[in-house]
Amino acid sequence: MSHVSSRSRTSPSVTFVGLPTGSGIGIVFAALFTGALLSLSTGAISWPLLALYALAVIAVTTLINPKGLSLTVTSAPLLFVATLVVVGWIMSRDSLAAGGASAKTALLAIAYPVAEYFPVLFFTTLGSLVIAGVRLRLIKRQNAGIRRRETEERSTINRNNRRTTSQGRRAREQAQSVPVQELLDRARTEKTRRKKGNSGGSSRVVNRLGEDLYKG
């Protein structure tokens, strides 16, 4: 006989559910694409691109599925640098086509935004690393708590099963011992009855001998 718990056993070890990895990277790409369009419309790389990138990276790192944290954190800086290079190239392509000194200036204009906005890239990446580390630590602690509760539940179920098995075994032993006890009781009763019968026969023989002696 086993004890069946009423609680479900289908709960997974990792219970946090976040954005799919592809969706997280897509959100960062969409933010950079929107910022690039705004920068091209104004003719200069401006704060909307930087703000959209930082907000998108922080939000995605906070909401992404834990399995996609490493890919998101590593791909976001690459997308940012690629966006700056593409925007700089589009803005300088006329100068590049002209050649000469203007082409060299255009090449510098393409590379300059990457160096200029490196602090934004650095601090945004650092913030995403901190958020990812905190999330992973919290998830690890949550999973440890879930495993601890499951272990306690299994221990309780095992104790209940052992107690139920022990009670069932004792009940079977008692049920099997009842007929044996009855046989022993019957044997004692029969032995007592025979002893009484033998003692009664002996007294009758003694009485008859006495009567014969008196008659004689």
What digits encode the pLDDT tens for the residues 49-82? Answer: 999 999 999 999 999 988 888 899 999 999 999 9
Q: Buried b vs exposed e over 140-168: b needs ≥16 C-beta within 10 Å?
A: eeeeeeeeeeeeeeeeeeeeeeeeeeeee
- The reported pLDDT for the residue numbered 12 is 44
What digits encode the pLDDT tens for the residues 4-33? Answer: 444 444 444 444 467 888 899 999 999 999
- The reported pLDDT for the residue numbered 16 is 47
Check if the beta carbon of residue 10 is closer than 8 Å to that of residue 171: no
Top mean pLDDT of 106-110, 201-205, 210-214 is at: 106-110
What digits encode the pLDDT tens for the residues 100-147? Answer: 556 666 677 777 888 888 999 999 999 999 999 998 888 888 777 787
- The reported pLDDT for the residue numbered 104 is 65
Residue labelled with tokens 């490196």: 118
Query: From CA 188, how far away is CA 185, in angstroms rounded?
Result: 5
Nearest to 139 by CA among 13, 43, 20: 13
What digits encode the pLDDT tens for the residues 153-190? Answer: 887 888 778 778 777 777 666 666 556 556 566 677 77
- The reported pLDDT for the residue numbered 11 is 45
Alpha-carbon distances, residue 26 vs 65, 130, 164 (angstroms): 14, 21, 56
